[in-house]
């Protein structure tokens, strides 16, 4: 315990790593199809509302709890409030396991698409054939699992490298590159024939489309995309130094995450309409659409390879933050070595990943409550466990810590916090009531 806790190498390192956690498959794979299934523009507006009204406040709360306790999620709650509250941290560790079980599978699809683009699998084919290629690939029993395994090994490698050397170095120059590439793709996508219909679907809210599912979808997407409610931000906050301006840096991270999601929607949805696909096609949407966009670009293959490589890296920096929750728990609380915890946890995660991957083919008939294993793992975490975690974190910071939470936000005691009152009000009332209302709606169907 006397070992000095590792810290981020620099302020930029923290921002890039946290943005690396937030920006991932959630932005590029999940956000466009969630917007597509939930009515487009109206979803977008409600999503932005969720980010603004409680997303940012919760990111700040998690970072602050992590920084003042310098602990993993379980240890943090125990230090501040004793054993009972540490259950919230435990829930987070369990959530990380389940998210990773499908995250490695979808990240594996991304790696496979690097290979597909490089071997000209989609050369000259239309969207229908691209869709078939995607479906056949994810339905095959072995191949996707091999890619998931490759991704898992990469993830273990980064996590074992330690905080500042491994994670920071990977994030530093690749995330800006992904961003630039998304801008290029958005320009191509909105200028495709027939794309304007997709642009208006995405940007013009049609309020008649809004149902309880739209609200629930937006809330769960906000949790997933901002890495909230399960201790990832808390863990990264624990490597943050006292001097850092927490509210400012949290806003930057939330802003970057939101920008990337917005851009990804602007890449995918116009292309979906241009190609005549259904925006509600579900989890395959990004993979079925993008090859058609690349096919209509000069040097499309190169862009395609670069894009999927960068997306895989974005997924890697997110997966690393998920595994870091698990590893910091087993290292700090259970005395595991970093290597032992990384490898052991990843083996368990991969084993849960097997049925998740098979649920796209061989085991697609096995459903629980109408959901196959992938949908179930996604639903349980994004729509149930993360919101519950977020609810308790809001109550904890807002009521249990109260003014102490405001102190934890400050980088020095004299720093002024003009909006501290509003922040506490959100944590005490708006976030808990809003999340509870949406959770109940979801559970009551
Ligand atoms: N925010 C990540 C993404 O959008 C996923 C994630 C969730 C990462 C929870 C860490 C914790 O892809």
In whole angstroms, give the CA distance from residue 375 to residue 363: 13
| Residue 164: per-residue pLDDT | 55
List of residues 6+ apart from 70 with CB closer than 8 A: 5, 238
- Give the SS3 label for residue 371: strand
Q: Which residue's alpha carbon is nearest to atom 11 within ligand 1?
A: 227
| Residue 155: per-residue pLDDT | 93
Ligand 1 in contact with 359 (CB < 6 A)? Answer: no
How would you write the pLDDT of the chain (445 residues) with one tens digit per residue? 345 677 777 787 788 888 889 999 999 999 999 999 999 999 999 999 999 989 999 999 999 999 999 999 999 999 999 889 999 999 999 999 999 999 999 999 999 999 999 998 887 777 888 899 999 999 999 999 999 999 999 999 888 876 556 556 666 777 888 889 999 999 999 999 999 999 999 999 999 988 888 999 999 999 999 999 999 999 999 988 888 899 999 999 999 999 999 999 999 999 999 988 899 988 999 999 888 888 888 888 898 898 899 899 899 989 999 999 999 999 989 999 999 999 999 999 999 999 999 999 999 999 998 899 999 999 999 999 999 999 999 999 999 999 999 999 998 877 888 899 999 999 999 999 999 988 887 766 5
Ligand 1 in contact with 95 (CB < 6 A)? Answer: no
Q: Calculate the alpha carbon distances from 337 to 47, 345, 402 in Å.
A: 40, 12, 35
DSSP H or E segment with residue 263: helix 246-275
Nearest to 27 by CA among 187, 195, 182, 231: 182
Ligand 1 in contact with 99 (CB < 6 A)? Answer: yes
Contact 393, 229 (CB under 8 A): yes
Chain-centroid distance of CA 383 in Å reads 13
Contact 297, 189 (CB under 8 A): no
Residues present in the chain in total: 445
How many angstroms does the Cα of residue 55 sit away from the middle of ligand 1? 13
Q: Which residue's alpha carbon is nearest to atom 9 within ligand 1?
A: 227
In whole angstroms, give the CA distance from residue 192 to residue 163: 42
List of residues 6+ apart from 182 with CB closer than 8 A: 28, 260, 263, 264, 267
| Residue 2: per-residue pLDDT | 40
Beta bridge partners of 371: 368
Nearest to 354 by CA among 105, 96, 93, 100: 105
Chain-centroid distance of CA 174 in Å reads 17
Ligand 1 in contact with 21 (CB < 6 A)? Answer: yes
How many angstroms does the Cα of residue 364 sit away from the middle of ligand 1? 25
∠ Cα 164 168 173 (to 5°): 155
Ligand 1 in contact with 73 (CB < 6 A)? Answer: no
What does pTM read for this prediction? 0.94
The atom of ligand 1 lying closest to the CA of 26 is 4
In whole angstroms, give the CA distance from residue 286 to residue 134: 10
């Amino acid at each position: 315990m006397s070992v000095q806790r590792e810290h981020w190498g620099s302020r930029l390192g923290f921002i890039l790593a946290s943005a690396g956690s937030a920006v991932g498959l959630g932005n590029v794979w999940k956000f466009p199809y969630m917007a597509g299934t939930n009515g487009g523009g109206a979803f977008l507006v409600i999503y932005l509302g969720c980010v603004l009204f409680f997303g940012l406040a919760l990111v700040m709360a998690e970072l602050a709890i992590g920084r003042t306790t310098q602990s993993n999620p379980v240890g943090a709650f125990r230090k501040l409030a004793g054993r009972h509250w540490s259950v919230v941290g435990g829930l987070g560790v369990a959530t990380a396991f389940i998210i990773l079980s499908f995250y490695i599978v979808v990240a594996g699809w991304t790696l496979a698409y690097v290979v597909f683009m490089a071997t000209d699998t989609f050369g000259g084919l239309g969207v229908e054939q691209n869709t078939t290629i995607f479906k056949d690939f994810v339905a095959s029993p072995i191949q996707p699992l091999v890619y998931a395994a490759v991704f898992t090994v990469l993830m273990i490698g980064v996590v074992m490298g330690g905080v500042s050397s491994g994670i920071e170095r990977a994030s530093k120059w690749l995330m800006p590159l992904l961003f630039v590439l998304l801008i290029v793709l958005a320009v191509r996508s909105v200028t495709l024939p027939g794309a304007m219909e997709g642009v208006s679907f995405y940007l013009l809210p049609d309020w008649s489309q809004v149902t309880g599912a739209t609200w629930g979808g937006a809330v769960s997407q906000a949790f997933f995309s901002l890495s909230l409610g399960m201790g990832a931000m808390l863990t990264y906050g624990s490597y943050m130094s006292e001097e850092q301006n927490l509210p400012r840096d949290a806003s930057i991270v939330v802003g970057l995450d939101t920008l990337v999601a917005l851009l990804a929607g602007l890449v995918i949805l116009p292309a979906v309409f241009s190609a005549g696909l259904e925006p509600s096609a579900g989890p395959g949407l990004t993979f079925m659409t993008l090859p058609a966009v690349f096919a209509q670009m000069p040097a499309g293959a190169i862009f395609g390879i670069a894009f999927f490589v960068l997306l895989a890296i974005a997924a890697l920096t997110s997966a690393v933050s998920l595994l870091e929750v698990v590893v910091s728990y087993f290292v700090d609380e259970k005395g595991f070595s970093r290597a032992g915890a990384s490898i052991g946890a990843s083996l368990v995660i991969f084993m849960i990943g097997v049925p998740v991957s098979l649920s796209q083919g061989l085991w697609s008939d096995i459903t629980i409550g109408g959901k196959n294993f992938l949908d179930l793992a996604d639903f349980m975490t994004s729509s149930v466990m993360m919101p519950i975690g977020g609810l308790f974190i809001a109550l904890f910071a807002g009521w249990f810590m109260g003014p102490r939470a405001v102190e934890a936000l400050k980088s020095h005691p004299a720093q002024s916090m003009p909006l501290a009152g509003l922040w506490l009000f959100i944590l005490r009332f708006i976030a808990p009531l809003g999340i509870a209302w949406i959770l109940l709606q979801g559970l009551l169907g």
